[in-house]
Amino acid sequence: MRREETPSPPLLEVRELTVACQGKTVVRDICFSLKKGEILGIVGESGSGKSTILKAVMGILGEEYTITKGEILYKGNNLLELSRREKRKISGPEIGMIFQDTKASLCPVRRVESQIYEALAEHETVTKKEARNRAELLLKKLGFAEGERVLKSYPFELSGGMSQRVGICMAMLLSPALLLADEPTSALDVTVQKQVVEKLLELRKEEGTAMAVVTHNIGVVRAIADQVLVLKEGCMVEYGRLEEVLEHPKEAYTRQLLSSALTLRRAKEEGEGR
């Protein structure tokens, strides 16, 4: 008699997450889960609460924010109940984050290679040379022909797109079990976007990394996601498998969002053809 396999438990499970900013609720009753290797695309108009959800999971909401309800379970443990020391242990090697404004998250007066080495050395035994070699290799895969020059640079010497790829590199080098990505391709041209998407999928394939990716780019969602969460004004509009949500949307707002993305893409293509 064949024994039925027990379903694997979620790596991340968010239950009824509700967040207030200065007393006003900005995210309400958000629920989703991610298993090892799954990728969730989070979409919605600006101000819908997408970035707030990622910051809540990462534990970096500002002082003006308060989680008023819900649980954030990582490997069965409620992240909201962990001490600061316990959170430090898992931030990076367990849960990594790619920020929307990477340049703002980097120290402007320290070279990039110094900050990458510090991030790696915090969680593993590594020499500066090893850290530099690993970073150069990954930067090359992310489209930098001169990775060494980038590593020797200060953040203020880099463009927005270059800084974004440095942030992606820093998050990926630790091969986290869960990667939170806030608009990881927004500052990049189409060619580099493709390289970043390919590298994220490679990380998923090789390391089994689960990801929650916030993006306005429906093309990126189609290329990378297994599940889609649609948000409007801090509330869940639709949540399900990629094919169900994008090909057979149940809600009018989802259809409107998809239609707007298609209209913008056609306008761009017509403009490029002139």
Q: What is the pLDDT of residues 162-175, one digit of tens each?
A: 888 898 899 989 88
Q: Can you give the pLDDT at residue 6?
A: 59
Q: Where is average pLDDT lowest: 10-14, 37-41, 134-138? A: 134-138
Q: What is the mean pLDDT of the chain?
A: 88
pLDDT confidence band for 5 (50 / 70 / 90): low
Q: Can you give the pLDDT at residue 115?
A: 93
Give 144 or 270, the one with higher predicted confidence.
144
- DSSP notation for 113-128: HHHHHHHHHTTS---H
Cα–Cα distance, 102 to 172 (Å, whole number): 14
Cα–Cα distance, 255 to 235 (Å, whole number): 16
Cα–Cα distance, 9 to 111 (Å, whole number): 41
pLDDT tens-place string over residues 47-69 = 999 999 999 999 999 899 999 99
Long-range contacts of 225-229 (CB under 8 A, 24+ apart): 225/39, 225/40, 225/41, 226/38, 226/39, 226/40, 227/32, 227/34, 227/38, 227/39, 227/40, 227/41, 228/40, 228/41, 228/42, 228/43, 229/30, 229/32, 229/40, 229/41, 229/42, 229/43
Cα–Cα distance, 71 to 16 (Å, whole number): 7
Cα–Cα distance, 9 to 130 (Å, whole number): 35
Residue among 31, 67, 8 nearest 235 (CA): 31
- Model pTM? 0.88
Residue among 189, 180, 246, 182 nearest 218 (CA): 246
pLDDT tens-place string over residues 91-133 = 888 999 998 888 788 888 999 999 999 989 988 899 999 999 9
pLDDT confidence band for 152 (50 / 70 / 90): very high
Q: What is the mean pLDDT of residues 235-246?
A: 96
Q: Can you give the pLDDT at residue 187?
A: 73
